[in-house]
Structure 1
Amino acid sequence: MKAAAAPVQRPREAKLLVLDAQGRIRHAPRAQLAELARPGDVLIANDAATLPASLRGAHQRSGREVELRLAGRRSLAADDVREFTAVLFGEGDHRTPTELRPLPPAVAPGDALLLGPLRATVLRLEGHPRLLAVRFEGPVDAVWAGIARHGKPVQYAHLREPLALWDVWTRVAALPVAFEPPSAGFLLDWALLAALRRRGVGFATLTHAAGLSSTGDPALDARLPLPEPYHLPAATVAAVAAAQRHGGRVIALGTTVTRALEHAAALGPLRAGPGLADQRIAAGTPLRVVDVIVSGTHEPGTSHYQLLRAFACDELLRRASVELERGAYLTHEFGDSVWVERTRGRPAAAARGAVALA
């Protein structure tokens, strides 16, 4: 598949590969997505806005140029912005693929990173020389201001021009907590929402701090996704309950929505409130909530592709990959989409449908 080379949406030209519950595959215009939903279904999106999570600066001890990409934190709380998990890159810019970037300087606990107006101290290495826990110095307001003024959205070598912050916000973007965009949500527009409403399909949101999709380092990429905080509103729990009560399906717009819903339901009835999604979803994972996932196109071996294996068998996904190549689908953040229904015979949890409204 070819990467989409510009941060633009293509409402008329975008493609949608449909994998239904019977294991059949067909091609459709993405503009027809609402027609795949049934009255009584509910579509759930991630309303996280994307942070300018790429911070350039220098490693104070060596004087070498670095790029620090924020990658995780413990919660979505507005005052919890001092400590982050982050990935360190060496010299270079977005025009060089991450796998070809020079290695960063060796860092140790106590080292300082000078990032524009921000100063961060390395707290520890997280099992890899480039995966760090860092703490920003100064009051919370100063940290927020420094990130906003100095940070840039995470950039991609396959795009022709640098991304601006507005390029990585979906139309439902709200709380700025994502480190990369919840890109499945780029397909949302007011025409789609209106079509869903006319069809009797519900719409709800949750907030999930979408993490980095790739680092260019195979050892690091094997650890993705990192733990990601989320918040599940009571209104969304109620929307799921209503859909399940009337035989409707829960349609997750993206892997982050799937991960949040399935984590929230892992230990019992689905409940509203905060959580930290630290699980892996892959082949054999029982799905307690989500019946359908709408996602971007993903290559085998990625964490996003692994999640799709909970919905469909490897043979069906292999056939889908062939169709994506044959149909010249675009991949990555601004590419085309897939609709994957949980195929018959895929494991479903015994507690499926249990929702707590309290």
Structure 2
Amino acid sequence: MNSMASSFYVPDHLHASAPAECRGQARDSVRLMVLDRRTGAAYHDHFKQLGDYLLPGDLLVLNNSRTIPSVLKAQYMDEEIEVRLSRQVSNTDWEALLVNKNLQIGTSLTFPEETAAIIKKAGSEPPLVTLSFSKSGPELFELFYRYGEPIRYEYVKEPWPLESFQTVYGSVPGSVEMASAGRAITWKMLQQLKKKGIQSAFLQLHAGLTYYGDDRWPTPIFHPEQTTIPKQTAQLIHDTKRNGGRIIAVGTTVVRSLETAVDEYGIVEPFSGVTNLYINDGYRLQVVDGLLTGFHEPEASHLDMLKAFMNPDHLLSAYNEAISEHYLWHEFGDMNLILPLEKER
């Protein structure tokens, strides 16, 4: 469990249960807490003012993985079982969580349209298993889209449509949970930033399950996720660094991807593969200068990563301040920007 877990408590009323646009607001109307990496100073603003904290020559790197409807219902004998996909392993195989059910390897599950899946082996860690489906590729994805639903945890009360769990720029299906740090970003904002001299670049990291239920979380030191960094993005990062600009990661997934692909000289190379990188306060960031992210629950390993950006005591103080200022948590909540500020505000 995260060492900050017992150090702050998020009251129930701060768990955002609905998207901003379903609360009568625009996506980019959420709030923004800005933290200075160096001093820990906190500034309170609105997300629409993000550009006020960025400089010409900075580069925003975004994860354009698109959320898939990853909660499925399967039949086992006379019983219905909830299956939560976690990670694609091949054209036919997926790691998955069988909610509240332990079944033996070799057991067959039945899905709609006469689709079967056999429990092939254990997953990368308990309680995940590897399912081998009788359909593959696009045909299997079509099954997910026809019969699946997006994952929603207990603080999300309503079955919001899949579109609510997407960023506007998500284009490559594969995440079972939304890469939510960019949810408040609009195309209009990206165009406004571009006019100011702030570029954008994209990569993909397909986010896996972040919670297994029954107070179980993924082991942060072995949590494989598929990532791809295109050549164009690697080149933009290199050019930005060379010209003195800052690399601002939109989401912890982007940090993980970029820091995985950096070589011994600090250069990000084009990359496609699985990352198991675990970043905590003992890790020295080689590529990323700033991070735009949401607010993370006490047990989340994402908090370990945030400690690589700033002093853990400053981070804890800021989180307690965010609670006292009534910031909203989770994928539909408010945003947090952590970066070295260039001047006193």
**TM-score of Structure 1 vs Structure 2, range by shorter chain:** 0.7 to 0.9
RMSD: 2.1
Counterpart contact for 1:46–1:207, Cα < 8 Å: yes
- In the alignment, residue 300 of structure 1 is paired with which amino acid? P
Change (3 A) 1:266 1:331: farther
Distance 2:152 2:264 in 1: 37
Counterpart contact for 2:88–2:94, Cα < 8 Å: yes
Distance 1:107 1:267 in 2: 44
Counterpart contact for 1:213–1:224, Cα < 8 Å: no
Q: What is the CA distance between 1:233 and its match in structure 2?
A: 1.1
Q: What is the CA distance between 1:141 and its match in structure 2?
A: 4.0
Change (3 A) 1:293 1:210: same
Query: Which of 36, 42, 46 is the matching residue for 1:29?
Result: 46
Distance 2:119 2:223 in 1: 18
Q: What is the CA distance between 1:327 and its match in structure 2?
A: 0.8
Q: What is the CA distance between 1:139 and its match in structure 2?
A: 4.3
**Secondary structure of the corresponding residue to residue 330 of structure 1:** coil
Q: Give the structure 2 partner of residue 85 of structure 1.
A: 95
**Secondary structure of the corresponding residue to residue 85 of structure 1:** strand
Pair 1:123-2:120 in alignment: yes
Counterpart contact for 1:18–1:340, Cα < 8 Å: yes
Pair 1:170-2:167 in alignment: yes
- In the alignment, residue 264 of structure 1 is paired with which amino acid? A
Query: Which of 68, 71, 74 is the matching residue for 1:57?
Result: 74
Q: What is the CA distance between 1:22 and its match in structure 2?
A: 2.5
- In the alignment, residue 143 of structure 1 is paired with which amino acid? L
**Secondary structure of the corresponding residue to residue 331 of structure 1:** coil
Q: What is the CA distance between 1:144 and its match in structure 2?
A: 2.2
Q: Give the structure 2 partner of residue 132 of structure 1.
A: 129
Counterpart contact for 1:40–1:201, Cα < 8 Å: yes
- Equivalent positions of 1:275-294 (< 5 A) are 275-294=273-292
> TM-score, normalization: structure 2?
0.88
> TM-score, normalization: structure 1?
0.85
**Which moved further from structure 2: 262-271 or 300-309?**
262-271
Distance 2:149 2:300 in 1: 25
Q: Deviations over 1:147-175 (max 9, x none)?
A: 12111111232223202121112110111
Change (3 A) 1:141 1:49: closer
Q: Give the structure 2 partner of residue 19 of structure 1.
A: 35
Counterpart contact for 1:54–1:152, Cα < 8 Å: yes
Query: Which of 196, 209, 229 is the matching residue for 2:226?
Result: 229
Q: What is the CA distance between 1:284 and its match in structure 2?
A: 1.1
Counterpart contact for 1:262–1:287, Cα < 8 Å: yes
**Secondary structure of the corresponding residue to residue 273 of structure 2:** strand
- Equivalent positions of 1:309-348 (< 5 A) are 309-341=307-339
Q: Which consecutive residues of structure 2, in runs of 5 or more, have no partner in the other structure? A: 1-9
Q: What is the CA distance between 1:275 and its match in structure 2?
A: 2.2
- Equivalent positions of 1:216-295 (< 5 A) are 216-223=213-220, 226-265=223-262, 269-295=267-293
Change (3 A) 1:125 1:246: same
Query: Which of 1, 4, 7 is the matching residue for 2:19?
Result: 7
Q: Deviations over 1:100-120 (max 9, x none)?
A: xxx22x211100111223311
Counterpart contact for 1:311–1:343, Cα < 8 Å: no
Pair 1:46-2:58 in alignment: no
Counterpart contact for 1:224–1:303, Cα < 8 Å: no
Counterpart contact for 1:16–1:339, Cα < 8 Å: yes
**Which moved further from structure 2: 145-154 or 217-226?**
217-226
Change (3 A) 1:134 1:343: farther
**Secondary structure of the corresponding residue to residue 192 of structure 2:** helix
Q: What is the CA distance between 1:129 and its match in structure 2?
A: 5.5
Q: Which consecutive residues of structure 1, in runs of 5 or more, have no partner in the other structure? A: 75-79, 90-102, 345-358
**Secondary structure of the corresponding residue to residue 221 of structure 1:** coil
- In the alignment, residue 16 of structure 1 is paired with which amino acid? L
Q: Sequence identity, in percent?
A: 30
